[in-house]
Amino acid sequence: DQQVKQNSPSLSVQEGRISILNCDYTNSMFDYFLWYKKYPAEGPTFLISISSIKDKNEDGRFTVFLNKSAKHLSLHIVPSQPGDSAVYFCAASAGGTDSWGKFQFGAGTQVVVTP
Amino acid sequence: KAGVTQTPRYLIKTRGQQVTLSCSPISGHRSVSWYQQTPGQGLQFLFEYFSETQRNKGNFPGRFSGRQFSNSRSEMNVSTLELGDSALYLCASSWTGGTSYEQFFGPGTRLTVL
């Protein structure tokens, strides 16, 4: 049962433009969300997080938006750079002891930034 | 501060064998989680340890087990390996494993079962 979905397996964007990655979830108990970037042969690298009490969080070129009513979050990267070419995962966790140390991950979106 | 380390990085085993993977968390982190990453299933949660106790477990068979030592280092073991166990095994550490803390991942151990 895939509770976190990234419906776009790939995204191609020109250098300097905005990259928008989307993520949908089904579990209304999820209250904390993370985005990770992953290069081949490396573990995922944490990018940015957002808790359900917010609808936006910014960190440099990265902004995450959360729409709780739509159970949807998105990651905006502005401007996109060649080094941003990687697989991006969104992850979600619910409150409570059942979720200790446990995040549900989406399948990932491969981003390719072209010159 | 050193990141999460995992050993070995690559491993080749045959069906029926067992394997032990090791993870050293970031200094001061007490929670260690393990994930299996396969092309078809993405990252799947295996289990989480905190202060030497397993607090949470995913939907994997009993062949998958783990433990955590007093220095927070963790090991996972897979017995009676099957071809489908071929995957990238990732461990992640955090301060407490609570639901509002980021997890920091190691580079993973690539297990190939022949």
Taking CA atoms, what residue in A is nearest to B93?
A: A101
| Dihedral sign (CA A111, B98, B111, B9) | positive
- pLDDT, residue B80, reads 97
Taking CA atoms, what residue in A is nearest to B9?
A: A41
**A23-34 mean pLDDT:** 94
Sorted by sequence, the CB contacts under 8 Å of residue B71 that are 6+ apart come out as none
Which of B42, B45, B102 has its CB closest to that of A34? B102
Q: What is the pLDDT of residues A57-94, one digit of tens each?
A: 999 999 999 999 999 999 999 999 999 999 999 999 98
Q: Could you give the CA distance from residue A48 to residue A88 in angstroms, rounded to a whole number?
A: 11
Which of B6, B98, B108 has its CB closest to that of A100? B98
**pLDDT below 50 — which residues of chain B?**
none
CA dist list (Å): B12 to B23, B47, B112:
18, 23, 5
Q: What is the mean pLDDT of chain A?
A: 94
